[in-house]
Amino acid sequence: AFARWYRAPELLFGARKYGSGVDVWATACVFAELLLRRPFLEGSTDTHQTRTIFTAFGTPSPSQWPDMMYLKYYVREKYIPAPPLRSLFPMASEDALDLLSKMFTYDPNARISVQKALEHRYFSSAPLPTDPEKLPRPVPKRESSVSDLNSFQLSPSRKIRRVTPMCDGVEGNNVGNFKQTVGDNTGTNEPTPMSLNFSIFGLKPPNRPTITSYEI
C-alpha cells in the first residue's frame, strides 16, 4: 500500500497480517525527511530497500525481532552494526531522537503506537508548535475585473504599431477618406490608387502633372 521508501520491514518480508505499526514506520520516514530535508531511505528494489534500512539501523537480531524469521520473504542478511542515531540526525533534539528510535523499532509488536507517539514529550517540549491562528496565510488571488481591463496600458511598441504614418504629416488614425480597394469584380486583384480629401486638413489639393506640364 505504501511507496517503497516508506514501507515497514515486515511488509518487505512479505507479512500478510499487519496493523497500524506500518503507518507509524511510514510516518517516521516522513519525520526523518523533514529533519534532513531530503529522502531518507531510498531503495531501488525491495531487496535494496531492506539493505538500506539495515545500513541505517543495523541488522536486526532475533532478540530484537523474534518473528522475522517466520515471514515469507525473510532472508538472513550480513550483520551490520547499528550506527548512533545522532550520526544520522545531528540536528535533531534529544526528544526527537527518542521518538524516532521508538517509531523505527523493527518489531511491529514493540513499535510505539499511534496514540503513544502523539503523547510523546517531543510534542510538548520547546520549541512548541505554532498556534494555527498564528501561521502565515497565503495571499488570496485577486479576481480580474472590467476596470482592470480598462486600465490596461499599451506598451510603446504596440502604440507605434497602432499609430503608423500613412504619408508625410498624416497619421494612420487621422486619415479621413483613404480608400483602397483590394479587388474588384473583374477578376483582377490590382489595388486602385488611394485618394485623399485634403479639405479636411484645410489644404488645397496639389496640382497633378499633365503631359503638357512636362518639358518635352
Does some domain include residue 140? no
On whether both 183 and 95 belong to a single domain, the answer is no
Mean of per-residue pLDDT scores for the chain: 80
Query: Is the pLDDT reported for residue 165 higher than 80?
Result: no
> What distance in Å separates the CA atoms of residue 177 and residue 196, rounded to the nearest whole number?
6
Does some domain include residue 158? no
Overall average pLDDT of the 65-81 stretch? 91
Number of domains observed in the structure of the chain: 2
Backbone region of residue 7 per phi and psi (left: phi > 0; alpha: psi in -120 to 50; beta: other values): beta
CATH of the domain at 33: 1.10.510.10
> What distance in Å separates the CA atoms of residue 158 and residue 51, rounded to the nearest whole number?
64
- DSSP codes joined into one string, 164-188: -EEETTEEGGG-SS----S--TTS-
Does some domain include residue 49? yes
> What distance in Å separates the CA atoms of residue 75 and residue 109, rounded to the nearest whole number?
20
Contacts of 15 (CB under 8 A, 6+ apart): 71, 72
On whether both 19 and 76 belong to a single domain, the answer is yes
On whether both 92 and 178 belong to a single domain, the answer is no
Does some domain include residue 143? no
The per-residue pLDDT for range 94-146, each reduced to its tens digit, is: 999 999 999 999 999 999 999 999 999 999 998 888 888 888 888 888 776 55
On whether both 89 and 184 belong to a single domain, the answer is no
State the pLDDT at residue 64: 93
On whether both 120 and 188 belong to a single domain, the answer is no
Does some domain include residue 109? yes
Does some domain include residue 60? yes
Distances (CA, A) of 206 to 19, 112, 196, 199, 203: 99, 101, 11, 11, 9
Domain boundary among 128, 145, 180: 128
Higher-scoring residue by pLDDT: 109, 183 = 109
On whether both 71 and 172 belong to a single domain, the answer is no
Query: 201 lies in which domain range?
Result: 165-206
- Of the candidates 41, 40, 60, 57, the one whose C-alpha atom is nearest the C-alpha of residue 49 is 41
Does some domain include residue 173? yes
On whether both 116 and 12 belong to a single domain, the answer is yes
Q: Tell if the pTM clears 0.85, that is, is over it.
A: no
Domain boundary among 76, 104, 128: 128
The per-residue pLDDT for range 13-44, each reduced to its tens digit, is: 999 999 999 999 999 999 999 999 999 999 99
The per-residue pLDDT for range 145-156, each reduced to its tens digit, is: 555 555 555 555
Domain boundary among 99, 128, 157: 128
Contacts of 29 (CB under 8 A, 6+ apart): 5, 6, 40, 41
- Of the candidates 66, 55, 61, 72, the one whose C-alpha atom is nearest the C-alpha of residue 13 is 72
On whether both 116 and 169 belong to a single domain, the answer is no
Does some domain include residue 27? yes
On whether both 111 and 169 belong to a single domain, the answer is no
